[in-house]
Structure 1
Amino acid sequence: MTWNAGGMPLDATSVGQRVVVRYAVGGTGPSGGPAMSDVIGRVRAVDAAAVTLERRDGRTQVVALADVVTWKPVPDRPLRRRRAGDVDPADLTRITSRGWPAIESVALGDWELRTSGRFTGRANSVAVHGDPGLPFGDALDRVRAFYASHDSPALAQVVVGSSGERAFAGAGWIPMTGYHGGAVVLVADLDPAYDADPDARIAATADDDWLVNYGRVNDPVAARAVLEGPDTVGFVSIGTPAVAIGRVVVTGEWAGIACVEVSPEHRRQGLARRIVETSLAWAVEHGADKAYLQTMRSNHAALALYKPYGFADHHDYRYLEPGSTDSAQ
């Protein structure tokens, strides 16, 4: 059996090849055309009716040939200089800071004092990694003074279980009031063959429509300064007006995926997956071979969304604030 899509044969000689297949899933997509999905896997069988693919996570998927819109072979994943899971938590914290840069960032030895008009904890806390370059008590004094001078609460972002967390806790700092549990950083080695969704748009700036969907913005000027800060950043959206959004940033060989949001009335339609797939494709095109993302440990829907793409736990972090027994009080 030989079958063609876009002039390329799909037959018994394709068995063993790694391919991406786009196929119709029934119904109408957001743009008004047929709803479609993509699958990447290794061809295990082709007969008169269907192609059987083995996905990266070991699952098997059968796609009817009548539903296939197009397909193409994709290369095997290349050898890497360093795998995503091998990076040290301190190094990854530095990488994530570059992907979510504060409006003002001041070095305190290896620590980073960050402030951004209170837009997000990541951009308004001291990133604790490495050595502050002076005795710990003196470093705490510098942290308190910095945030007092910016009329902002002092917060420390610490890796759970790290020596930094233990040192701050020993000085009387406590988990941030009202913070919903801990956050987890997930990492993955990227595949070279993600397919960008044809209905998705990627812009270099966050327009008003994108910010409305993101939702957690009190100061648009501060938000845009942080979100648009990196040199290589894309704002992904589907629909006009947008019904699903995401943000992807590339710093060196690392990509950061963030801000994946779908409007409530359009959920459970695969839009979040399409945003993620498009973001990963864009990241690979811009030179990334590893990716990270940060989400709440309690956000089970997000964890389930990213798992098929190979994202796995790297480390947890939390925010600490001075408690009633803070050594300065």
Structure 2
Amino acid sequence: MVRFDALVGQRVVVRSIVPGERGPSGGPALTDVIGRLLAHDGTTLRIQRRDGSEVEVDVAGVVAAKAVPQGPERIRPRPAMDHTPEELARICTRGWPPRVSTELGAWTLRASGGFTGRANSVAVHGDPGTSFVDALERVEAFYAAHDLPAKAQVIDETPWAARFSDAGWVGIGGTHDHAVVQVADLADVLARPLAPPPGPEVALRIEETLTESWLEAAERITSDVPQADVRHVLGSPPVVGFARVEGDAGIEAVARMVVTGEWAGLSSVHTLPHARRRGHAARLLEATARWASERGADKVYLQTMLHNAPALALYGRYGFVTHHTYRYVTPPPAR
């Protein structure tokens, strides 16, 4: 009998019976699922695949299950750049999960009380499964129902950018009008230690629980955003770490790293004004990269703004390269 309690949190391979199907030998058809075992309740296993997607397996149909190597012992199937912008956009959504999510064909409508553009826009990738005009009407209706402005996250390198532009949708303007998604293979990041050596003046910790002090240091608390939405977006992924650099006066810098399957996602890198130019961003990047690698990730993405030259320069020194760019667009003003 398989003891699933001992496998929770590990990377596993689970073989189970496919109901109603027969295999080549005439017996029951079998299928394998490989991924991290997130949880089980005695009847169902919840497994996270390499791309961060999740699947449920009926315990009654399981014929075998065992842990498989993770970390440096595994063979890497695909490098970071060997993913389409649409694939990576879906992975990014899993690392920044919205409070409410509705599928429209291959699009994902996301709402989280207005906390960040990523969690409150339709992720446009693939086909919506309906006409473009109908898709836009459904998008606007969805956001009206959630008392939010309609907004679309459109990848520049896809034909959808022109389709939205032709429909009159315009960029939101300001510094958040365009953004860049960069990626790197974690082995390359870890092979380039650049952070100042640790000293007695600072301590670096990574916690797996979102705290008020981390939120305050990250400047993620706003009076007009429901805190339940903030906490869901930042803290609900099964594998997430909240890193902090602490000095004599308290927290000086923070970052967040999430692991979904083989991908890690770095976000919320922020150094408080009084502690800048001390190498904290590099310390956080290296520490969270190691943390993610230990939890089975071998690729990492991050999202930043095109105008953020200092951040892009730092990430470039660790081997990050631009994968794609995107922008947020909104419907034309009502006449």
Query: Per the shorter chain, which TM-score range?
Result: 0.7 to 0.9
Query: Of the candidates 85, 105, 110, which is equivalent to residue 106 of structure 2?
Result: 110
1:285 maps onto 2:284 in alignment? no
1:84 CA drift (Å): 0.5
CA deviation vs aligned residue, 1:91-124 (integer Å, no higher than 9, x gap): 0000000000000000001000000000000000
CA deviation vs aligned residue, 1:123-173 (integer Å, no higher than 9, x gap): 000000001111111111100000000110000000013111111111110
Q: Which residue of 2 aligns with 1:310?
A: 319
Q: Which residue of 1 aligns with 2:241?
A: 234
Contact kept? 2:157, 2:324, Cα under 8 Å: no
Q: Which residue of 2 aligns with 1:149?
A: 145
How far, CA to CA, are the matches of 1:77 and 1:312 in structure 2?
25
Q: Which residue of 2 aligns with 1:214?
A: 218
Q: How does 1:22-33 map to 2 (within 5 A)?
A: none
Q: Which residue of 1 aligns with 2:127?
A: 131
Q: Which residue of 2 aligns with 1:3?
A: none
How far, CA to CA, are the matches of 1:299 and 1:216 in structure 2?
19
Aligned AA (1:142): R
Distance 1:313 1:77, change over 3 A: farther
Contact kept? 1:232, 1:250, Cα under 8 Å: yes
1:175 CA drift (Å): 0.5
Q: Secondary structure at the match of 1:113?
A: strand
How far, CA to CA, are the matches of 1:171 and 1:287 in structure 2?
43
Query: Of the candidates 91, 103, 116, which is equivalent to residue 87 of structure 2?
Result: 91
**TM-score of the superposed pair, with normalisation by structure 1:** 0.72
How far, CA to CA, are the matches of 1:242 and 1:286 in structure 2?
25
How far, CA to CA, are the matches of 2:72 and 2:219 in structure 1?
39
Greater Rg by CA: 1
Across the aligned residues of Structure 1 and Structure 2, the Cα RMSD in angstroms comes to 2.2
CA deviation vs aligned residue, 1:248-286 (integer Å, no higher than 9, x gap): 000010000011111111111111100110010001000
For structure 2, which runs of at least 5 residues remain unmatched after alignment?
1-70
Q: Secondary structure at the match of 2:251?
A: coil
How far, CA to CA, are the matches of 2:172 and 2:139 in structure 1?
16
Q: Secondary structure at the match of 1:206?
A: coil
1:79 CA drift (Å): 5.7
Q: Secondary structure at the match of 1:281?
A: helix
How far, CA to CA, are the matches of 2:147 and 2:287 in structure 1?
39
CA deviation vs aligned residue, 1:6-63 (integer Å, no higher than 9, x gap): xxxxxxxxxxxxxxxxxxxxxxxxxxxxxxxxxxxxxxxxxxxxxxxxxxxxxxxxxx
1:76 CA drift (Å): 9.1
Moved over 6 A (4+): 75-78, 194-198
How far, CA to CA, are the matches of 1:119 and 1:179 in structure 2?
17
Contact kept? 1:255, 1:283, Cα under 8 Å: yes
Contact kept? 1:111, 1:129, Cα under 8 Å: yes
How far, CA to CA, are the matches of 2:173 and 2:269 in structure 1?
25
**TM-score of the superposed pair, with normalisation by structure 2:** 0.71
Identity of aligned residues (%): 49
Contact kept? 1:206, 1:224, Cα under 8 Å: yes
1:214 CA drift (Å): 1.1
Structure 1 range deviating more: 233-242 or 186-195: 186-195
Contact kept? 2:177, 2:328, Cα under 8 Å: no
Contact kept? 1:117, 1:222, Cα under 8 Å: yes
Structure 1 range deviating more: 204-213 or 97-106: 204-213
How far, CA to CA, are the matches of 1:180 and 1:133 in structure 2?
29
How far, CA to CA, are the matches of 2:318 and 2:291 in structure 1?
15
1:166 maps onto 2:162 in alignment? yes
Structure 1 range deviating more: 148-157 or 218-227: 218-227
1:200 maps onto 2:204 in alignment? yes
Aligned AA (1:215): E
Query: Of the candidates 244, 257, 267, which is equivalent to residue 248 of structure 1?
Result: 257
Q: Secondary structure at the match of 1:80?
A: coil
The number of residue pairs the alignment matches comes to 252
Q: Secondary structure at the match of 1:287?
A: coil
Contact kept? 2:178, 2:326, Cα under 8 Å: yes
How far, CA to CA, are the matches of 1:301 and 1:179 in structure 2?
15
Contact kept? 1:77, 1:191, Cα under 8 Å: no
How far, CA to CA, are the matches of 2:269 and 2:175 in structure 1?
20
Aligned AA (1:168): F
How far, CA to CA, are the matches of 1:127 and 1:153 in structure 2?
14
Q: How does 1:46-65 map to 2 (within 5 A)?
A: none
How far, CA to CA, are the matches of 2:96 and 2:177 in structure 1?
21
Aligned AA (1:97): T
